[in-house]
Chain A
Amino acid sequence: MGSQTRTLWGSGRIGSLHLVAPVWNGGTRGIGGLSRVVAPEGNQKKGRSLLQFLADRFYDVEALRDHLLRKQVSKVHQKNRPFNHINQRYGPYVAGAYFILKQGGAVRFQGREWIRPNQRGHFSLDFLKLQAVPVEAVDASGCAINYQGLDSLLALKELQSLWLQRCPHVDDWCLSRLHPLASSLQELSLAGCPRVSERGLACLHHLWNLRRLDISDLPAVSSPGLTRILVEEMLPSCEVLGADWAQGLKLGPEEQPRDTAGPTPA
């Protein structure tokens, strides 16, 4: 169902088998043109909860709601704080590994096995003695890593493989920060990140050593098929996993699938 809607939306933008996107329309300049401005994240009017109803009428409830929202934001900030004391004592590799493990991700040092936290988020601190061993692979799938949190990752100079699947706070700004890893990064996965769009993918061209890139299932990308083609052109030596090229293309009238129930007369 979701893919169907996406196809319809995509076909509205790209004409029948033409790969030229329509001209930048002046629609957004209209007074009522707020629709492109806001992220397509659903209508707040439906399903107004009791909290919202009360917050419209009472200043105290409004303050309470704002406080709860700010607490959520500060929780994410707290999770992404840098561990400076660990960095000073044990070095950047251990600090980066600790950061990822604390977030719930997994880390692999060079020549070793994957270190993962268990069900309850606990992990052994054996890796503290691996101060001089570089980190080769990081699996931060589903972690709440954001722009600030990338500080800890960018210190891992020999990182070869980075998986950021389904990270809710990774957006275009974060992708523009990845260029210091250009000399070592060979594999990057961004599948399922809700905030990554084609504008962020444009700054991946700094990663000239990249061999595998996964950009499948990115809901914020407007034309997934076209984006994949453009990214492949941008990174010629990289294998790009993404949407099907023909996704979002509408077939022209002469190519409409005919009913093949009966034999077509010659």
Chain B
Amino acid sequence: MLRRTLLLGLCRGPLGRGLGTHRGGSILGKVEGRGGYRGSWMAPSSSSVTFRTQDPAHDVKTVGRLGGGDRDGKMSEIKKKIQSILPGGDWNPLYDTSYLPPEGSDVVIVGGGVLGLSVAYWLKKLEKPRGAIRVLVVERDHTYSRASTVLSVGGIRQQFSVPENVQLSLFSVDFLRNINEYLAVADDPPLDIQFNPSGYLLLASEKGAAIMENNVKEGAKVCLMSPEQLRNKFPWINTEGVALASYGMEHEGWFDPWCLLQGLRRKVQSMGVLFCRGEVTRFVSSSNLMKTASGEEVNLKRIHEVHVKIDQSLEYQPVECAIVVNAAGAWSGQVAELAGIGNGPPGTLQGTKLPVELRKRYVYLWHCPQGPGLETPFVIDPSGTYFRREGLGHNYLGGCSPTEEEEPDPGNLEVDHDFFQDRVWPPLAQRVPAFETLKVRSAWAGYYDYNTFDQNGVVGPHPLVINMYFATGFSGHGLQQAPAVGRAVAEMVLEGHFQTINLSSFLFSRFYSGEKVQEHNII
């Protein structure tokens, strides 16, 4: 046993890092309790045969077969101590600092939801050489209890009016279809995101019919149907008030967002991304007065340090960083304020805030035994009410986006059941007569990272705070565009410009110049 311990300790020698640095393993991984997460060390040298460290927890289990419970515990304690003392172990004689983030990281991603993890994944995938960039993901809630990702209904569609949105969704669907090639981790079982390819059915009244016809874009397999055809195909729909319907035949449907999140987390940990459970409370930055090409003076800011406050403690760790990615979802506005975005006279670029705020949305699950069958697509009514099938037992999920005046208070995630009675059920019952006899089983609420400017995402760097990149503000369609947006941000960080999909119309500067990217099909 001693020999094995010594071997391991010696082997970790060349890979040892300074005191106080977090190991490659993750706290989040430990909470999951799966053996598959091995904190991976990326050795600086590549060609020679190198020994890789193993999670010492594994060895502690195999050791200790001496018999006698008390001696077992004592021996494993001693072994742990020896392992940590030998060079390369995370020995800290004063106190355990494994929960702290590292003292420096090349990229700090604020927010560990699907967008943040997607950016981390693509950064690690597109970096050259392998292991060049240290990425830290800071997420304050490791249970994701309020994250928009997991509370989402999980739909994905290509029926957008803005062509960039269509391209983003098309790539994301491609990613989801080949998810086991992209997110494959050796020795772990393949992912099953439970994709339902049932498509989206958007109904339009007289007013919206013209816009809908214009929306049928390149690459999206959409078929336009008249009310007659709609009644033939889906006899349970009441086509009163519907002038035109657009039905997506392929690449559209819904899936399980929790699975995508876990798959990304698993893969990203195996690629060596560090995780930290904490909250970003402060940015330390420095300003430089620079002159633009036209002679104007501009105050450019650069973030040097991110202060990460540990959960349920007053302790914080300053993390030196080169680049900060704001993927905090509904709370991105607050994170941007910390960086000083929006501190300036209104009407100037300095005074332009990030217009992303929390908006609460309700989702209801109901049961209706006479309801539409297996072929039910994701139906969106002209009134904004939507529903989709859930499972095989005639259960349906749905909701409606409230108007500006009825916006609920986003302070908590309590569900308002009267909203269902007043605003969701009547249009549903009118559209699908079978829904007159439904019974609500449960409901929950989630946040939209609502972009009050034009309800489309913000991607790319800030013009003044030059090392803060945004990947937020998608107002309800972030999950379906996450893989593509992650790749776009990674390209921006690594290359300096968008390579595959051109998202220059989604940059921050449009808030100052006033160019809205209006999307007609936002639910």
Contacts and interface: CB of A to CB of B under 8 A. Distances in A.
B269 interface: no
A49 to B, nearest CB: 11
Interface in B162-217: 177, 181, 184, 186-192, 194-199
A52 interface: yes
A203 B199 contact: yes
A200 interface: yes
Choose among B150, B187, B367 the residue with the greatest number of A CB atoms under 10 Å from its CB: B187
B258 A28 contact: yes
B49 A21 contact: no
Chain A, interface SS category: helix
Contacts of A42: 189
Interface stretch (A58-66, A83-91, A100-108, A111-119): A58-66
Contacts of A59: 43, 46, 49-50, 52
Contacts of A66: 186
Given A32-B33, A147-B177, A234-B374, A21 B196 contact: no
A56 B376 CA distance: 46
B191 A39 contact: yes
Choose among B181, B198, B389 the residue with the greatest number of A CB atoms under 10 Å from its CB: B198
Contacts of A176: 197, 199, 249-251, 253
Contacts of B195: 172-173, 199
B258 A21 contact: no
A42 B190 CA distance: 10
B373 interface: yes
B189 A57 contact: no
Contacts of A73: 181
Interface stretch (A1-9, A223-231, A251-259): A223-231
Interface residues of B, number: 58
Nearest to B442: A23
Contacts, number: 141
A121 interface: no
Contact of B186 (A39, A62, A199, A200): A62
A130 interface: no
A73 B32 CA distance: 30
B189 A200 contact: no
B57 to A, nearest CB: 14
B191 A234 contact: no
Contacts of A37: 191-192, 256, 258-259, 262-263
B391 to A, nearest CB: 5
Choose among A20, A24, A176, A233 the residue with the greatest number of B CB atoms under 10 Å from its CB: A176
Interface residues of A, number: 56
Interface string A19-37: 1111110001101111011
A223 B395 contact: no
A56 B54 contact: yes
Choose among B251, B263, B392 the residue with the greatest number of A CB atoms under 10 Å from its CB: B392
Contacts of B50: 58-59
A206 B191 CA distance: 28
Contact of B365 (A24, A172, A175, A179): A24
A72 to B, nearest CB: 11
B314 interface: no
B62 interface: no
A38 interface: yes
Contact of B192 (A38, A52, A147): A38
6 contacts: A20-B394, A32-B33, A52-B187, A59-B43, A69-B184, A227-B392
Interface of A: 19-24, 28-29, 31-34, 36-39, 41-42, 44-45, 52, 55-60, 62, 65-66, 69, 73, 147, 172-173, 175-177, 179, 197-203, 205-206, 222-223, 226-227, 230-231, 233-234
Q: Which 7 pairs of residues, A with B, have the shortest CB-CB distance?
A: A21-B393, A176-B197, A205-B375, A37-B259, A38-B189, A199-B196, A230-B374
